[in-house]
Every structure is written in C-alpha cells, then in structure tokens.
Structure 1
Amino acid sequence: MIAAIERSSPLVRPLQPWHVIAAVIFISIAILVSATLLSIVFGLQYPSNVPRIREKPGAGHLSLRTRLAYYTDCEALFRGAYEKYGKFGRTVLVPGLGLRTEVILPPSALRWMLSLPDNSISSSHAFVELDQLTYTLGEDRLLVDSWNALVANRDMNAVLEKVAAVLNDELRVAFDEQFGTNTEIWREVDLNKAMPLVISQAAGRYTMGLPLCRDEEYRQSTVDVSNFFLTMAAVMGMVPVFLKPIIGPLATLPMNAALRKFHNLLRPEFKKRMDTIQAAEKGEPVNEPEDLLQMAIRYGLANRSHEFNFLEISKRITITNMGTTHQTNMTMINMMLEIIDSDAELNTIAVLRDEMRNVLGDGPDIKWIKAKIAQMVKADSVGRETLRKTSFGSRAMLRMVVADSLETSDGVVLPKGSMLSVLTLISP
C-alpha cells in the first residue's frame, strides 16, 4: 500500500544525483554568505573612504564577486591594485585568503614604513598571523621572540666558510642519491619529490649535522612537517576568527602527529648534545659540533634558562627548518625548470658549466668558498631571473598594525590588526 502511494504521489520523487549536488551547492553558498556577513560585522572595520579594489567609491566592504576573483584571477586583481592605486601613491584594500581584507600600500610608502617603530607596525606579529602559529605550533611567542634567528645570524655567520664547506660536501651526496650518477642512462626524476629531500638533507647538515641529516626518516619528517605547516596555515587562515577556537584543534591533528614524530626523532640527538656540553663543562676533551642545534642549545642554557627544555628547542628548530627549506625548495625547482626550458635557445647548461670550470676548476675536489661564489655572475643572473619570473610571493614588507590605530602616508586611518604590504613588481 505504502509503496503504491509513493509511486503514484506527485509529492514523492526518487532522490536524483543532481538533488544532492544542488543541496551541497546551496549549503556551501549559504555558509559562505553567512560567514561573509559575520566577517563584515565582527571583522576589522575600515573607514569607508578607503578605496576597495573593484568596488564603487564609498563601498563599505568587498563584494563576494571581488573575493572570488582572489582565487580565480589574483594576478589581474593585484595588477589593478598597482595600476589604479599604487602608481599614484594611494592605499587600497584587497581581499585575502578566506575572508581576510588586507591593505596594499603604494611603493612610495616604503620609506615611511621603515621609519616606524616596532610598537607601531610589527613584522613578527604579521608572520604569526600569516603562519597561524597559535594553531600550527601551539604558541605565537616562538616568532614574536625569535631568538633562534638571532643565533643563526650572529653565531652561524661567524663560521660561514666552514658552513659552505660542509654544504658543498652534503649537496654532492644528496644530489647523487636523488638524481643518480649514471651519465649514460636517462631516468625520470620527480622534482617535487626529489628536491625537498635534497634541500632537507643539505639544510639538516647546517642545523643538525651528521649523521641525523642523512637519516631517511628524519629527512622525510622535516618535509612532512613543512607540508602540514603550510597546509594548516592556509586552512586556518581561511577560517573566520570566531570559529578558529572550535575548528583549530581538529584541523591541526595531522600537524600535531607530524610534530610528535619529528620531536621523537630529534630527542636522542638533543640528549647527546646535552651530554657533550656537560662533559665539556667538566673539562673533559670533547669534539663539539658547529651547527645550529648546538649553538641554539648553548644560547638557551646561557640566556633563556627559565624556558629552556627539549620541546622549546625542537619547536624553534622546526621554524628554522621552514625558513631554510620551503622557499629554497620552490626556488630550486623553478630554477632547474628555467635552465632546462631556456637551454635550447640560450645554451644555458653549457654556459653555466663553462663558468663553473673557469671559477671553481674541474675535478672531484672542487671547494665552494664565498669569494669564488661571488665571481659566478652568470649563475647569479640565472637565480635572479628565476626569482623575477617565478617569484615566491607577490608582496613584500608584510607588517601588522599593533598600535591602536595608524595613519598612512596618504592620510588613511587603519585599525589595530590591519595587515599591510607593498606589491612587488609584476612581470609582464
């Protein structure tokens, strides 16, 4: 009886695939519109006299169409910001990831930005927001108080020639392992898989030293942490502020698992370094490593004893790994592809090989030193041209307003929490 009624009733229809698709689209649009409205109500409030890209004068917010353009035609959006506003010394608001609204300052504002104190606009607070450090690593002070960067700049620079020597050795080992040494038989190499392992191993020699930098599990762990870090930063950057405390702990579960594995791999090496330092303090003869881990431990013991522990060092090494591997990896992949792509027209490979032979010599005992690297102008040109054509980012001088308010050089008043940047030159 019921089946007969269902078949004959015009109000009951079998569920079709397009019904499900339509429902998903409708729910997605409803969520997006609701989140946009909530973002307008609870987000940063910019004065209506600040121009919004692609919006009418006096518009109080960015339209949904403009926000979608950030994902579908970002280059044209940013080019318009420069051509219509930046060129003429004007500030403009553009959409960012998720529901962010970001401030693009004109190039003429660079000198003004550099003159402002850290308690007015802050680079570290901007990167805390960009990297969503509260959720990716659990606390933002790791970037706000980045003493590990101080150690790298001060102590590692003092032994730069030694670092160049060990990197020369490690890069040879890493490239031979990932790309092979057979010059007769060709094989296919996936740069997206091989290059991160090469960079991770070379950077690991700088941060960890031997033998950990050559450990396959450690190398893969650093790559995994880096990938999860970037993914989680992007995901959490898209989440509205009022939802982050709810979504954050769930979204970052994979990141936390990758971090635990990295910590477990680093823990035995940390204990070994502590034993070395204790032996040295007792006057025993030791061969103390000259890498970033050892210098960070030394600095932490001497200057940050109140917060010194294994997890503190491990998290700071994680941040250092991000800085030494991610951008380097992308740049190296792009550079190799540019060299191969331009070789047919410009004979790029042969030109670079000739320069290497002339400057460094020919043979298995080539030594990289700072003075010789500075003479390799053609290799330097390839690097610069790669960065020009395939730059890592489209903006520079990323800063966050940390004062209660800030008036720009063209008279725009910005609220606390505004993200500022200047567009880099966009290649034609």
Structure 2
Amino acid sequence: MFSVDRRVLALAIARMADSVGNSFLIVVLPLYIASGSISGDAFGLTETVITGIVLSLFGLLNSFTQPFAGYLSDRSERRKVFILLGLAILAVTNFSYSFASGYPDLIAIRAIQGIGVAFTIPCTIALVNDLASDENRGGNMGVFNTFRLLGFGAGPIAAGALVHQGPYDLAGVHMTGFQAAFYIASLGALVSFALVTLLVSDPEQTEADAGDDFSISVLGSRSGLDPIFTLALASLFMAISIALISTLETTINTRLGQNELWFGLEFAAFVLAQVALQAPIGRATDHYGRRQFIIAGLVLLIPATVVQGFVTTPMQMLVARLVQGVAGALVFAPALALAGDIARKGRSGTQLSLLTMAFGLGTAIGPLSSGFLVRFGFQVPFEVGGFLAALGVVLVYTQVEETRAPSSDARASPQD
C-alpha cells in the first residue's frame, strides 16, 4: 500500500505555498515591463529581448548554482538549512520588486533571486529522495510534484486577475496590481519558510560519502551517455518546450485577441494537467517501470508543442497546453524517480541537481530563444521545441535502461 512520509507531505505543501508566489512573476514581470513602470536605459535592447533576459536570468543563474548547492548539502548531511536559506532570499527579493524603477534594479533583483533559490530546489528534491525507498520513490516524487505544481499553476491565474483588477485600497493603503502581486509572492515564500521550519527535519542518517567528488558524469560506464545525464537532457528539452510562450505573452494576446487572464489560464493549463496526473503516474512507475512513461511523454510532447505555433483561438491554445501538460506529467516525476534509483547514496543532492538544473536551464533558454526565434515567424519557436522533444525521445530510448521491473501484482494474470 502506498504511503507518503509526513516530511515529504510537509515539503510538498511548503513548496506549493512558495510556488504560488514565485509563479506570479512569470506573468507579472512581462506586464510590469510593458506597463512603463520600468524606465531608464534598456541597454539598447527591444522590450521583447529585455523581457526575455529578465525572465531567463533567474533560470540561468539558478541552474548553474544548483549542483554546487546539492554538493554542499551532501557534504554537510544537512538539507533543511539550505532550503530555508533559499526561501528567505526568495521572500526578500519578491518584496524588492515593488521598489524597482529601472532595468538595472530589475536585473539585479532577478539575479540575486536566481542564485538564492538554487539552494532550495536540489536540496528539496534530494531530501524527498532520501526519505523515499525504491518501492515508493515514484509515488513520493509524484505527490511532491503535484502539490508544487498546484501552486505553480494557481499562481499565473491569480496573477493575471490581480493585475487586471488593480489598483487596490486596503485599510487606507493604496497599491497597484503589480505591487499587490509582489507582496503576495513574498508572503508565499514566508509561509513556506514557516512550514519547513516547523514540520521538516533532515533524515536520521544520509550515509554521506560525497567526499571531494564534485564531478558530474557525461559518459556511461559502457559506451554512450550516462543515464542521469541523458535524463537531464530530456528534462532540458521538455522545459524549453513548455517555457516558449513566456516571452511571447503580449504577442500571443494580440494574435489571439485575448487579455491577460486568458494567458494566465493557458500558462497554467500545462501545470494543472500535471497536478491531476503526477501522483497516479508516479505510483504507476513503481509497479510498471519508469522508462516507458518517459518515452511516451516525450513522444506526446512533439505535436503538443508544434501545434501552439498554429492555433488561432484562445481555446485552441488552452487545449494544446493541456495536452502538453499530460506529456510533462509522463516525463517529470518518472525521470526524477529513475534518476533517484540510480543515484549513489550520499550523492543524491549532487546527482539529482543535474535534473533540476536542466529543468531550470530549460525554463531560462525557452523564453530567451523564443524572443529571438519569433523574428523568423511565430511558428518557428514551437517547431524548434518539437524538434528538441523528438531528440529527447531518441536519447532516452537508446541511452537509458529500466530500473524497476514490473511488480508481481502488475504481472499477475486474471487467473492469479
């Protein structure tokens, strides 16, 4: 029978709280820049390009810091303190956006935020992995991602509505819709900080043997790529595909004749589809194996991404994002669980950070690349995303082996 460690559940709820606030920024920051609230030198760049840089900077710095953070948590055998450090930085930087008046301010805040949050993400995933076993790792990863993505999906919907309905007067205090969004984002991080402080503890023993080994394998023990590195590449390609629309918010709104709330719904549709499927798919991988789910998800990701370049109505975009969410659910938790099966004890922070780094890097590359590629045609970014998903299929099929044989219950015939 499937069970979830209470600390995993607490981590999941905490991540849901800060994800609500953090995902606000994906919708709010492009609108904040477009509104004229940010002035001064834009370094000679167009609004679309500077928006892509601001959105991507978080992911780039966050991604490259994650392996270092994971390694430190392996060495110290302490995950919780790094999680709290990242949440504290997230709370402060979210609040700081309300004071930003120029592009240098915005870029500096985003950079600090990206580096700070890097201490939360890999340590949280490593802690979930430490608390799980081979028999329930997929289910635990699925439950954790369900809560995290529930917050991440609700955030854009709330952010679009919050900005659209502003300004506000609360108890005599006047604030714009943008300020309200930044304050709520900061509050989400503070709630998460409190939950982790009160309800989460490190495992009794992590059996750390990281030593001074900070290396990340690219090649496997036999010919070909290392399986964890391959899964990281697949995660990178998936993240790029799902993040392509971020920079194109104003372009998509104009093209489809929709408002900010519609875009928030479309962005969140991907995440909400995963919310419904992450936990059951994760549990299924514990019984039926993980690799086949990852391959199926990458195959489905191809048409779900390409079609977004050709839709003509908001509803069509919403459906495309929902299908893309199903594809992501088939890849995300199973890939983390499969990598967790392979990861060496005491090095899970370092090794699993490769997947979280790749995902973060993909969410950075996606907006940056779409801002550049859209100059060649609206369809081009989505066609490139579909190609990357196809490349992911080939890599996982040829370089990754199954780690979980079907359980006896799964293999049992009706006669049994």
Query: Does the pair score TM above 0.5?
Result: no
Q: Which has the higher contact order (CA 8 A, sep 6+)?
A: 2
Query: Which is greater in Rg?
Result: 1
Higher relative strand content = 1
Q: Which protein is richer in helix relative to its size?
A: 2
